[in-house]
Amino acid sequence: MTITKICCIGAGYVGGPTCSVIAMQCPHIKVTVVDISKHRIAQWNSDKLPIYEPGLDNIVKQRRNVNLFFSNDVENAIKEADLVFISVNTPTKTFGVGKGRAADLTHVENCARIIAQVSTSNKIIVEKSTVPVRAAESILKILSANHKPNVKFQVLSNPEFLSEGVAVENLLNADRVLIGHEETADGFWAFKELSKVYLNWIPEEKILRTNTWSSELTKLAANAFLAQRISSINSMATICEETGADISEVARGIGLDSRIGSKFLQASVGFGGSCFTKDLLNLVYICEHLNIMQVAMYWQQVLDMNDYQKSRFSNKIIESLFNTVTGKKITMFGFAFKKDTGDTRESPAIHVAKTLLDEGAKLNIYDPKVEHEQIQRDLTHPYVTENPEAVMKSIEIHNDPYYATINTHAIVICTEWDEFIELDYKQIYRGMIKPAFIFDGRKILNHDNLTKIGFQVHTIGRR
């Protein structure tokens, strides 16, 4: 079999960019991305894509309706495909056994059932969603129990390592492409077929072959290690604030050790995003399930440190503003969980906003990419408030960063957007209530200049 048709189930942050890049690099392959959400597919077929990702618009414009298709016709796309990516969401369970920790595999299971039901030819099924170790076994069991006679499936694990905001760059120049397969001749054959797709642009030495379970666990391990680095540097930031050491200097000092490396040592208000917390919770749950409690506690601590960091930053704002923010207007610069994305899932900005709102503050919020409705949805979510009407009265969402600061007591930087560095802070200072405060939760501004202007500056990891 030569792969000529690919179907991707799930047109989200992973399915959309991944398949757009495959379509661009493999003009001979027809790629169809399907989703149950009519709205999402309509957006992928419109001029305004559902996700903001630098470079993506251009690729979609070039390949859409040429060899890249977005559709709600899940069944037909699966039926005609040689290879099916499962790229659906695997959120933390909100009910039942493992609630709040285990991964909810309902969507993955639904995909397996529909694949088995509609397939009339052999297919390679690729688990791209992040899943607990041995999830492929469940997929295979569902496929085996429900398939039509003479239809065979091979299940591969091919986790995705892209980061939002740099997804296209990551996909084009991947550090590695990991493919896990069943340790049989058929499994090896399926690995070869998927490799051929990637070999259209990924050098052979970057394609890593493992068994299925190693591949699944590697994805969780990679996110756990990355998150651990952030919690580690944030823990050091706390010591810096107590002692007069400067976390930027400490990070540079340790990062130059080639065994440690300089990346992912940026102290911050805490990590956010849809995956670090969810995948760590999942890892902790797996360890508990395996009854290796010391290991579970070890990884839980990475999450605890992140919660501590978010609370510490929010509390610092309140303490600095003379221990009360009730009725005070505070500007939040940034709401996305990191720059260059409009994604707010698990954004630390939500935690900061919640704390300030709970204390009675009024918030002016500005983010260059997050939709206003998304901010409203996040801050009126039952997890954040029992009184959504009161929250709506306490927030203003702005389109202009300067306007957002007028007559406010403080600016809180929650996302490291480049444009915040370039703003005219002299002008901003003039319009603010004095003393005017800046809380730089991302360490992106020139603090000496701000102090000279007259701002009271507070940041992470420095007195």
Ligand X SMILES: NC(=O)C1=CN([C@@H]2O[C@H](COP(=O)(O)OP(=O)(O)OC[C@H]3O[C@@H](n4cnc5c(N)ncnc54)[C@H](O)[C@@H]3O)[C@@H](O)[C@H]2O)C=CC1
Ligand Y SMILES: O=C(O)[C@H]1O[C@H](OP(=O)(O)OP(=O)(O)OC[C@H]2O[C@@H](n3ccc(=O)[nH]c3=O)[C@H](O)[C@@H]2O)[C@H](O)[C@@H](O)[C@@H]1O
Q: Residue 134: how many CB atoms within 10 A of its CB? A: 12
Tell me if 124 sits within 8 A of 78, measured CB to CB.
no
337 touches ligand Y (CB under 6 A)? yes
163 lies in the site for ligand Y, by CB under 6 A: yes
Catalytic pick from 7, 8, 111, 275? Answer: 275
Known binding residue 15? Answer is yes
Query: Residue 457 Cβ, how far from ligand Y at the closest point, in Å?
Result: 19
Judged by CB under 6 A, the chain residues 259 through 278 that form the site for ligand Y are: 264-266, 268, 271-276
Return the number of the residue (275 or 318) whose C-beta is nearest ligand X. Answer: 275
Q: Which is nearer to ligand X, 250 or 275 (CB)?
A: 275
From start to end of 293-452, where are the E strands? 329-333, 362-366, 395-398, 410-413, 437-440
Token pair in block for residue 202: 């990924």
* Residue 104, CA distances (Å) to 91, 114, 346 in order: 6, 18, 17
Q: Is 26 a residue of the active site?
A: no
Q: What secondary structure does DSSP assign to 250-282, as a single string?
A: HHHHHHTSTTT-STT----S---SSSHHHHHHH
| Contact criterion met (CB below 8 Å) for 347 and 378 | yes
Residues that bind ligand X (CB under 6 A): 9-15, 34-37, 40, 74, 87-90, 107, 110-111, 129-130, 160, 162, 164, 274-275
- For residues 107 to 146, the per-residue mask of contacts with ligand Y, x marking binding by CB under 6 A and - elsewhere, is -----------------------x----------------
In the list 338, 351, 362, 369, the residue contacting ligand Y (rule: CB under 6 A) is: 338
* Count of positions on this chain that bind ligand Y (CB under 6 A): 21
DSSP 8-class letter at 93:
P
Structure token digits, residue 319: 């303490």
420 sits near ligand Y (criterion: CB under 6 A): no
| 55 labeled part of a ligand binding site | no
220: helix, coil or strand? helix
Asked if 91 and 13 touch (Cβ cutoff 8 Å), the reply is: no
Give the burial class of 72: count Cβ atoms within 10 A of its Cβ; 0-12 exposed, 13-18 middle, 19 or more buried: middle
- In the complex, the smallest distance separating the C-beta of residue 303 from ligand X, rounded to whole angstroms, is 16
Half-sphere exposure of 202 (CA within 13 A, CB side): 23
Question: Does the protein bind ligand Y through residue 333 (CB under 6 A)?
Answer: no
223, interface contact from ligand Y, ligand X, none, CB < 5-8 Å by kind:
ligand Y
Residues in the annotated binding site: 10-15, 35, 40, 88-92, 129-130, 164, 275-278, 345
Catalytic residues: 275
Residues in the annotated binding site for NAD(+): 10-15, 35, 40, 88-92, 129-130, 164, 275-278, 345
